[in-house]
Each structure stands twice: as structure tokens, then as C-alpha cells.
Structure 1
């Protein structure tokens, strides 16, 4: 647990993961601009110099959090999109909820609006936002092509709508922590089926 990070005998890799967990809890809830290393150290139950020793700077710590979060999310969503096309939207949401369940604030961290533009932390988050956008765009393009629609502007618009749906759904889920990944997956599937005119 995070409070044990500073104890002797804890493997460095485990200690690093615990620091990252504490940092995500702060960055995800408060936003990069409003978080201090003092707050992260206090949450982790360790000294601030130890965090600097491991990650160098606040920027370095955020970037490490972004890479851990982004790589896991992109990997799971990409895997879901390799399945059968029918139902792929639901499968992608299910994959997203599953990977976020242990650390739901990973999403808020990647889409943090307080990140200063053009900085290294901003670019780290942007890397994974773009990867997710590419996956979404490819999925939408394939879905529209199956019904004979090859209009690039339609693809662009529907992709933007899809990301709004995903962001709103994850945001709602973060406000309702009593909902499990399975529960929100089922809820999303029902709603998408209703919107699509399914049963």
C-alpha cells in the first residue's frame, strides 16, 4: 500500500508503482497545475526527496504516470477493436472500463485541462489522446463504410460525437464510484442499443 512505500525492504519497482498510484490520485483529482510534490509525498507516505530521486521532477513524475496509463488504455482498446465489427463500440467501452477499474483517474490524468500547452507533460498526454483518436477514427470509418458511407466529413463528425459519448460516460462513471466496470459496461450497452434502435 502507498503508506508502506518508504519502508525498507520494499522492491524499487513496487515502490515506484506505489508512488505512481499516489501521483495519479492527486493529478487525476486536482489537475496537474494544482498538485504539489508535497501533496503526493504526503499521500504516498514518503519523503519528497525520494520522489525526486526516482522521477527527477514533477514533470517527470507526471510523464511516467501518463505513459503507464496511456499504454494500458490504448492496448486494451486496440485489442477490443480487433474483434468482430458488430458490437465493437460496446466492446471498446467494456475494454476501457475494465482497464480503468483499478485506476479510474488514469482517464482524468490523460485528459487534464490544466496541463500547460507545449510542455513535456502535455505532449506525453497528447501522444495517447492521439492514439485513441486514431483508433476511434478507424472504427468509425469502418462502421460507416459498411453502410456505404465514405464521406470523410461524416467520419470526422461521427468520430467527434463518439469521443464526446465516451468522455461523458467515463465522467459520469467517475461521479458514481459505486458502479463497477461490469455495471457501467452493461448500462452503456443498453443505452447504445436503445439509441441504435436495437432491442
Structure 2
């Protein structure tokens, strides 16, 4: 009788420390969000896959938006660390541009789920998630802008700030668009995709920097002093 009773009692769930359980849930949610997109994933599905109750899932993360934000935070921090390390280790401005873009594409190639979580086109246009996406994009934009500023003579950088901001947005947009195309087609290795973008934008950035250097040179006639 005891044996029969014992055989019908379900095995208890393995109790994990909260931190370990949260990481386990994040791994599962991250994979599901990457595969299906934010809108198609439910908290019920995540709870079932993680082997926890739905109330416990809500107790840990609050709601689906915050769960997604936690996944996004891990992915965004990893991407920024990879690109930032590549730029910081570069030996010059041209290398910083090239190495930063290569690191961006290498990250996308190495962790496609992270890319899909960070750049999910199905996310709501407003609210908490939109602000989180904008924050990571702004931080990546700052890295791009710093790389471009290094291509500009120091005495011209303050004057060129607005133009650099515009060009940084364009370069980041081109990187995202090229990454989407590359993921969809697989037509080039990731490193070649990065080289293609570098070869396209670097000459123009260098030419623009040289033009600023000439126009800001002390030898340029001062129009306030009567120069034609």
C-alpha cells in the first residue's frame, strides 16, 4: 500500500536559490522571445517551460514587459561590451571604426538570439520597452559618434558636433539594416559584411574630416578682416 501511495505522489520540484531560478527563467524566456517575438510569447508558456508557477513568475519579474526588459538588458550589455572593447583596443581612428563594426557583426553572428531580442520589430512603439530599446540604441550611438569624432581634427570637433550626430545615426541605421539583410540572406560572412560597410563609409568620413581641417586652418583667410 505504501509503495502504491509513493508511486502516485509526484516528485517535488528541485528547489533552487532565487538567483539561480531567475537566471534559468531568463534563459528560457530569452530563447522564446528570440524565436517567436515579444507579442507571441505568453507568461503561461514561460512559466510552464521553466517549471514554475505563473504567480512565482510574476513575483520575480512583475509582468511580461519587465521580463523582456531583463532579457534585453543582458543582450544589450553584452553587445555594448563587445563593441566597446574593440573600439578601446584600436590603435587609431580608422581601426576603431573598422574594429567596432566588425565587433558588431561578430556579435550578431555569435549570438543571433540576442540580436533578435534587442531589435525585435514587433515590440510596442511606446512605453517601457520602447524606452529601454532607445536607451541601448543611444548608448551604441554614443560609441559610433565617438569613433567618428576621432576622425575629425581636435580643433574642429566642437563645431562638427551636430554633423557627427547626424552621421552617427546614419551609420548605425546602415549597420542595423545591413545586419538584418545579412541574417535574412546569409550571402556574406559576417566579417565581409562589416568590411563592405567600412569600405563604403570610411573614405567619405575621412574626406569630410580633411575638408574641415582645411577650412578651420589658421591659414584660411578671415572674412571678418576683409577677405573676399
Give 3-state SS (helix, strand or coil) of 1:62's partner.
helix
Q: Counterparts of 1:101 and 1:107 in 2: how far apart (Å)?
A: 9
Which deviates more from structure 2 when the two are superposed, residues 149-158 or residues 52-61? Answer: 149-158
Number of equivalenced pairs: 188
Distance 1:102 1:19, change over 3 A: farther
Partner residue of 1:124 out of 128, 132, 143: 132
User: What corresponds to 1:166 in structure 2?
Assistant: 175
1:152-195 CA distance string (max 9 Å, x none): 4432332122112210232133325797xxx4124422553366
Distance 1:123 1:161, change over 3 A: closer
1:101-128 CA distance string (max 9 Å, x none): 4531322322334433552233222221
Distance 1:138 1:196, change over 3 A: closer
1:8-27 CA distance string (max 9 Å, x none): 26665454334223322333
Aligned alpha-carbon RMSD (Å): 3.3
Unaligned stretches of 5+ in structure 1?
1-5
Contact 1:23 1:40 in 2 (8 A): yes
Distance 1:143 1:75, change over 3 A: same
Larger Rg, first or second structure (1 or 2): 2
User: What corresponds to 1:112 in structure 2?
Assistant: 120
Unaligned stretches of 5+ in structure 2?
1-11, 204-228
Is 2:157 the counterpart of 1:134? Answer: no
Contact 1:26 1:39 in 2 (8 A): no
User: What corresponds to 1:91 in structure 2?
Assistant: 99
Contact 2:38 2:122 in 1 (8 A): yes
User: What corresponds to 2:111 in structure 1?
Assistant: 103
